[in-house]
């Protein structure tokens, strides 16, 4: 069976992914951004609700990065069943 080389992604996509992941990591590591007590949201100081918002934002950026870098589409359920039937 011949395996073809996987298609490479353009440099623009790689730069975009790098920037998105740098924002996600930098948002947590750059402490002066969120080391404040005010503004408060209810009884929670800014530090806590910033961190609570950062978690889903980081997860979303990682998911988008994965989608941009993946080389093959995910197999559908029908294709998986056909693959299992061949074995």
Whole-prediction pTM: 0.69
Does residue 40 come out as left (phi exceeding 0), alpha (psi in the -120 to 50 range) or beta? Answer: beta
Q: Distance between CA atoms of 34 and 47, rounded to whole angstroms?
A: 5
- pLDDT tens digits for 72-83? 766 677 777 777
Q: Is the pLDDT of residue 36 over 60?
A: yes
Write down the pLDDT at residue 2.
Answer: 54
Q: What is the pLDDT of residues 4-35, one digit of tens each?
A: 555 678 889 999 999 999 999 999 999 888 88
Return the domain boundaries, the chain: 18-70
Enumerate the β-bridge partners of residue 41.
Answer: 44
Q: Is the pLDDT of residue 62 over 80?
A: yes
C-alpha angle with apex 56: 30 to 29, nearest 5 degrees? 10
Separation in Å, CA 48 to CA 2, 29, 32, 65: 53, 14, 14, 26
């Amino acid at each position: 069976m011949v395996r073809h080389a996987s298609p490479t992604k353009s440099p623009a996509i790689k730069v975009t992914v790098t920037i998105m992941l740098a924002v996600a990591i930098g948002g947590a590591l750059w402490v002066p951004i969120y080391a404040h007590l005010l503004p408060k949201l209810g009884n929670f100081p800014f530090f806590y609700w910033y961190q609570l918002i950062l978690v889903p934002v980081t997860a979303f950026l990682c998911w988008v990065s994965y989608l941009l870098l993946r080389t093959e589409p995910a197999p559908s359920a029908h294709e998986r069943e056909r693959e299992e039937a061949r074995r």
